[in-house]
Structure 1
Amino acid sequence: MKDAGYGALLALQFLTRLPVPVVCPWTPATRRWAARSYPLVGLVIGVLLALLGMALRDAWPAPLVALALLSGWVALSGGLHLDGLMDLADALGCQSSGERRWAIMKDPHVGSFAVLALVLHLAWKGMLLWVLLDEGASLWALVAIPALARWGAVALLVGVPAARDEGLAHAWQRSLGHREAWLAALPAVAVLAWVPGGIWLALAMAVFIVIYGGAMRRSFGGINGDIVGAAIEGGELWLLLIAWSWWSYVMV
């Protein structure tokens, strides 16, 4: 059980900026438990966002609540996954392929495609939060979305090989198997039972990962840490769109 506790703290430390005042060992066992805990960390993020939205919803206008939720979302993760999204956008934006794309992805400088991707991504995310608030959607959907997106990251690590025998994704994959993907799904599935449209969110996430994973295989030959981080951001945006569609066209 000690490995499980360290693994959960590793996941919290890696995926958020929440303080973890414990030095956690980096071993195959703790890596496995950390991957299994990814959706649990998503649940923590989602609960904090839902509570923030509930505290502000009746006092602030919807646009400001949406902006506060978006700001909190970014702050909780420290922008870690946005960095991956920007690196991936720069790599895909170039007209080259192969090694040139990898060189661009590893370049610490920010290109124009990265800036465009960041601005458009945050704009879409903020607008979808706004319309969900306007539609009177349950803020508890925000609990499921970060959890499912982080389960998607585990599914990518398990199902798509690393493009290079180096880096963070390769380090994680050395300790992971299909069992991790199934165990990681349990907390997300438990939450979906009482989230409106939860089954559709789960199916939408599965479709996203299949399409995204295939696209990354074709474009890069596999995944790396930036690609996994971008999948979390892309998955959250996709699930917000599905949640809005469900609430607007099914619940109404």
Structure 2
Amino acid sequence: MRAVMHGFLLALQFLSRLPVPVECPWNIETSRWAVRCYPLVGLLLGGIVALVGLLLQAVLPTPLLALLLLSVWVALSGGLHLDGWMDVADAVGSNAPLEKRWAIMKDPHVGSFGILALVFLLLWKGALLLAVLDAGASLAWLPLVMALARLGAVALLILLPAARPEGLAWAWKQHLERGDLLLALVPLLLGFLLWPGWPWLLVALIPFLFGYGLWARRAFNGINGDIVGAAIEGGELWLLLCVWLWYSSAMG
């Protein structure tokens, strides 16, 4: 039980800016439980964003509420996955050979492709948040979007090879097995209590992961931490689009 708690706290430390005043050991068991807890951390972060929305929904006009939700969303993760999104965009946008793309991805400076990718990602996320709110959607879907995107990261870590024997993704992968993906799915069973349509959203995530995985193998021969982080951002954007399509079609 202690390994489970330490794993959850490790995942919380890694995936968020929420304070964790406990020093957790890193070993085989705690690292495996940390990855299994990725979706649980997503549920927690999404719950915080949804709670902020519920408290201020009657006070703020919808555009300002959408902007506030996006701001809290980014602040909770500390921009960790956005950094990966920008690094991947700079590497891909360079059209350079593979070794050069790796060097660009490791460069701490952000290039023009990374900035453009960040701007358009945030614009699209904000626009989709506004569209979903305008469609009259319940904020209960927010935790599911954030949890499923992190479940996608778990799937990539387990099912795809590490591009290189170094870095965070390689370290996380060392002791993972396919059964860990099923354990990571368990917290999402709570989704039945929040939104009965969540299995449909899970199915909608599959083509995104399949396409992203094929692209990662072709472009980089596998994954690293930045590629997994970018997948979380892309997965959230894709799922926001799916939620909007769900509610807009239901209203129609």
For the aligned pair, the TM-score class normalised by the smaller chain equals over 0.9
Structure 1 equivalent of residue 247 of structure 2? 247
Structure 2 equivalent of residue 177 of structure 1? 177
Cα deviation digits, residues 99-148 of structure 1 (max 9, x gap):
01101101111100000000000000001111111111010000100000
Distance of 1:246 and 1:160 partners within structure 2: 30
Identity across matched positions, percent: 60
The root-mean-square deviation of aligned C-alpha atoms, in Å, is 1.0
2:85 is aligned with what amino acid?
Answer: L
Does structure 1 retain, via aligned residues, the 8 Å contact 2:141–2:194?
Answer: no
Q: 1:64, CA displacement in angstroms? A: 0.4
Structure 1 equivalent of residue 162 of structure 2? 162
Distance of 2:62 and 2:87 partners within structure 1: 32
* Structure 1: 5+ residue stretches without partners: none
Structure 2 equivalent of residue 46 of structure 1? 46
Write out the 4+ residue segments of structure 1 that deviate beyond 2 Å after TM superposition.
none
Q: 1:192, CA displacement in angstroms? A: 4.4
Distance of 2:247 and 2:150 partners within structure 1: 23
The 5 A counterparts of 1:51-200 are 51-192=51-192, 194-195=194-195, 197-200=197-200
TM-score relative to the length of structure 2: 0.98
Structure 2 equivalent of residue 15 of structure 1? 15
Does structure 2 retain, via aligned residues, the 8 Å contact 1:144–1:192?
Answer: no
Distance of 2:42 and 2:183 partners within structure 1: 15
1:149 is aligned with what amino acid?
Answer: A
Residue-pair matches, total: 252
Distance of 1:80 and 1:53 partners within structure 2: 22
2:94 is aligned with what amino acid?
Answer: C
Does structure 1 retain, via aligned residues, the 8 Å contact 2:145–2:239?
Answer: yes
1:71 is aligned with what amino acid?
Answer: S
Distance of 2:235 and 2:188 partners within structure 1: 14
* Structure 2: 5+ residue stretches without partners: none
Does structure 1 retain, via aligned residues, the 8 Å contact 2:135–2:251?
Answer: no
The 5 A counterparts of 1:210-221 are 210-221=210-221
Distance of 1:173 and 1:114 partners within structure 2: 27
